Homo-oligomer: A and B are copies of this chain.
């Protein structure tokens, strides 16, 4: 009964009506993910999507794999149980900026630190969509929303910085409607051994329309990070990222600073310092902003290590013997 491989995008479409607002960026992400899944070469029954609550978290209903639409913020925890107990499955987490960074922030950072096999797609629309438009931890300072009619007064998170501060081994950023780039990121993330996070800039055309236009619509503002490549951007790559002697990064015209000074991206560097510095290049998607893989390194994977300890113990002691366990070492007989 296993669906014959290779699969096609259609194999991943359920019969459920998709219930997002017309024009929502979520549609594009869904289509891209459905399009990439066949490329993973994993049977449908071995894929699991776990989500929290939010517009984006409706995602699993629309993907024809195993799915769990859980409760607000808890998807990384629930998915951890799935992935840690079944290393044979490929587990995705779908979450929002509220779901993943507000109520679910702790589970997210611990999931990253723990480096369990999870691919976390964070739909960042800088707003609470499902509850009709309150500010989120990624909304820009001064944001006027229903819950902040006089403007928000707290600094937003930079999701990439948060992830890097939390020992994430794979961190990327992409854009809802950039099918090629997003697809590539999803595939790389899915193939990463350990926890991977992709921040997706997602337009909520109802409550926060245009939040990412500066980056989404202006390719010149997309600083594309490609491993081993000089970090250039602009209309024609005329701009580059350079490092000052004191370690700060700066954007400058390549013509001015010279090609050789342009920083070459190294996603695999063990030390997350560079990735972190790159994450600080932009403090919001309003100007030139890096997209792509910030960091990808290899670390022990939680679920696999758990399995290894079980295998080791079993190899050393033999498969558990219940009678022996129950009796223990100190027994006496009553005749």
Contacts and interface: CB of A to CB of B under 8 A. Distances in A.
A104 to B, nearest CB: 8
Contact of A166 (B110, B165, B246, B269): B165
Interface string A275-299: 0110010000000000000000001
B302 A153 contact: yes
How often does this chain occur in the complex, in copies?
2
Given A165-B164, A247-B277, A274-B247, A302 B113 contact: no
A157 B113 contact: yes
Which one of A103, A105, A163 has the highest number of Cβ atoms from chain B below 10 Å of its Cβ?
Answer: A105
Contact of A162 (B156, B165, B299): B165
Interface stretch (A89-97, A251-259, A304-312): A304-312
A24 interface: no
A299 B272 CA distance: 25
B154 A165 contact: no
Interface string A50-85: 000000000000000000000000000000000000
Interface residues of A, number: 50
A231 to B, nearest CB: 12
A243 interface: yes
Nearest to A278: B273
Contacts of A151: 309
A162 B166 contact: yes
A21 interface: no
A317 to B, nearest CB: 12
A243 B266 CA distance: 17
In the A-B complex, the 6 residue pairs with the closest CB atoms: A165-B165, A153-B305, A106-B106, A273-B277, A105-B106, A114-B154
Given A115-B154, A247-B247, 15 more contacts: A106-B106, A113-B137, A114-B154, A150-B313, A154-B302, A155-B299, A161-B166, A162-B165, A165-B276, A243-B246, A243-B247, A272-B280, A273-B280, A276-B277, A277-B277
